Amino acid sequence: MLRIPTISILSCNLFGVRDDAGPRHGGFRLSSLRWTFGTAVFLIFISMPSLAQTPPDLDANNNQKNDSTENESAQQDDSGSDDSGSDDSGSDDSDFDLSEFDNPYHLGGFFRQSIQGLKPFYPLDKKYTDITSGSRLRLRAEYDEGPFQAELSGNGDFLFTNHPQSPAFAPLYASRIRNRLLSMETIQDHGDYLIRGDIHRFNAAYKGADFHLTLGRQAISWGEGRLLNPMDLITPVGPLIQDLEDVPGADAINTSYFFNSYDSIQLVIAPYTRSDERDLGRLRSQDSTAIIRYKGTFGNLDMVFLGGRQHRSYVWGTELNITIWDAGFRFAYLGRQEDEKFHTDYLAQEDTHQFVLGASYAFWGELRTNLEFFYNSRPYGEDPYIPEQQQKELEVASNQSDPELSDESFFRTKGRILTRNPYLVQASVGYNITELITGDLFAIWDPEGGSVLYGPQFSFNASNEIIIVAGARLYSLGSHPEEAEFQGAPPQAFLYMRWHF
């Protein structure tokens, strides 16, 4: 029985699938016609001229490591105070059309063409390299009038691969985002290609002077950790993500109250369903996430405290961020106590404590550096329970298995950082090679097992509307592969072009 070992530090745990799960469909190999089509689409969009005048709205990039509400402080827009005497009102010679700024409705989106290569572990007689072509069209509509805002965006994806029987294809591309309040997601597997669609964001918001309320599907990003961030509990971002536009949203009630410009309190409630309890009239409070969070600023010190319930466990934590000598220093702590009514495994019998200590510094404004130390008091080590639950969750999400009655695999493995070993050292460096090209490299080192995950990435801003990104996620197992954090993780490389309109 072949099993691709799990990348266990990630909440998503993409690669823990067994080869004996059975073929998804026939042994299809890509025809030259499909490869020609995919390549042609990619080249055509690279060569397209700029069609819009506004830069892309990288909503997920702005949300990745910044607090979701701190930048939406109580200050109101002052734009109404300086328009009365403008010289260009009614002028035919104006270089700018300001009418779109007066329109509360905004339409846009992007098209992305990607090619990815992945080398999973197969038996010796099946050493394939999986190559997958993916096309994504996202359409977005926004409303913004005074304190009222609304957002609706959806994805349409078309994917095909040279090896649809790969044990990595279903977890990567055919997996559902499970147990959200409203699914709003469809996947059609046609054997030699895959079509999927989903609602990416769907929310309405009121943002007054001192009170914010957002209802619906949204991204909520907490914490300042660059790679492994235990404070990012609602819509976490892992180091394997290739495009921050892909961060899924949570169906949540998100409220914030601002005492002043420096202090605020936030409450997030995210109900979750279960496969055996899809009736929204029978939602269970025990399956819901509810967390309250305080944030205060004292000079150059930002302080955060949070506590509540997440995925059938109790969580509490704090984060400190301070700027000294032009460098940023941060400390984060998260404690977790599993609810004994649901989680009775060996690891759940004691509380889990996770710490992150990090520092960041930019040299000459061009070279960005970051160093972090991560500690987990309850790694699963040789205990097979967590890997088995991760394996089960992958099979359920990719429709290869039915969930258990209590859906334990979801609530025990999602929304948290699970590691095999207790210590991880994280580092990243980024450099602006030119005004249009940036290079980044991150690495996560497992001192106990000797393995390393590292990811080089280059970005080229071809225009205000087009960005081209190439990168890889690679692994080195070191001298003790049997103890490695990243044992069996498949190397992968990717290239994509994203065109905003």
Report the mean per-residue pLDDT for the chain. 81
CA distance 12 to 10: 5
pLDDT at 33 over 70: no
Residue in this structure with the two tokens 């994805």, named with its chain if needed: 155
Structure tokens at 97: 């059309």
The set of residues, in sequence order, having a beta carbon less than 8 Å from that of 44 and lying 6+ positions away, is none
Who has greater pLDDT, 340 or 186?
Answer: 186
Contact 10, 115 (CB under 8 A): no
Structure tokens at 34: 């499909």
- For 308-351, the pLDDT digits (tens) are 999 989 999 999 999 998 899 999 999 999 887 777 788 888 89
Encode pLDDT of 281-292 as tens digits. Answer: 556 778 899 999
- More confident of the two residues 173 and 41: 173
Compute the residue count for the chain: 501
Interstrand relation of 466-476 and 492-500 (parallel, antiparallel or unpaired): antiparallel
Q: Name the percent of the chain in helix, strand, coil, to the closest 5.
A: 15, 40, 45
Q: Which residue has the higher pLDDT, 27 or 133?
A: 133
Tell me the domain boundaries of the chain.
19-66+103-500
Cα–Cα dist 426/444, whole Å: 4
Q: Pairing relation of β-strands 185-189 and 327-338?
A: unpaired
Tokens for 83? 């328009």
What residues contact residue 235 under an 8 Å CB cut-off, 6+ apart?
219, 220, 221, 247, 248, 249, 250
C-alpha triplet 283, 286, 292: angle, nearest 5°: 105
- The pLDDT of residue 420 is above 70: yes
Determine what percent of the chain is predicted with pLDDT higher than 90: 51
Whole-number pLDDT of residue 220: 96
* Beta carbons within 8 Å of 339's beta carbon, 6+ residues apart: 286, 312, 313, 314
Closest CA to 114 of 501, 497, 500: 497
Q: Would you say residue 18 has pLDDT above 50?
A: no
pTM, to two decimals:
0.78
- The owner of tokens 């040299």 is 363
Q: Are strands 352-363 and 367-376 parallel, antiparallel or unpaired?
A: antiparallel
For residue 66, which of 229, 249, 262 has the smallest C-alpha distance?
A: 229
Q: What is the largest CA-CA distance in the chain?
A: 77
Top-tier CATH class for 19-66+103-500: mainly beta
- SS3 state of residue 177: coil
pLDDT in tens, 73-93: 444 444 444 444 444 444 445
Name the β-bridge partners of 7. Answer: none
89 CB-contact burial (10 Å; exposed 0-12 / middle 13-18 / buried 19+): exposed
N- to C-terminal Cα distance for the chain? 48
Q: How far apart are CA 303 and CA 262, in angstroms?
A: 10
**H/E run at residue 200:** strand 194-207
Residue 119 CB neighbours (<10 A) = 14
CA distances from 222 to 92, 341, 493 (A): 47, 28, 28
Assigned token pair, 41: 């689409």
CB environment 134-144: b (16+ within 10 A), e (fewer): bbbebbbebee
Residue 64's pLDDT is what? 42
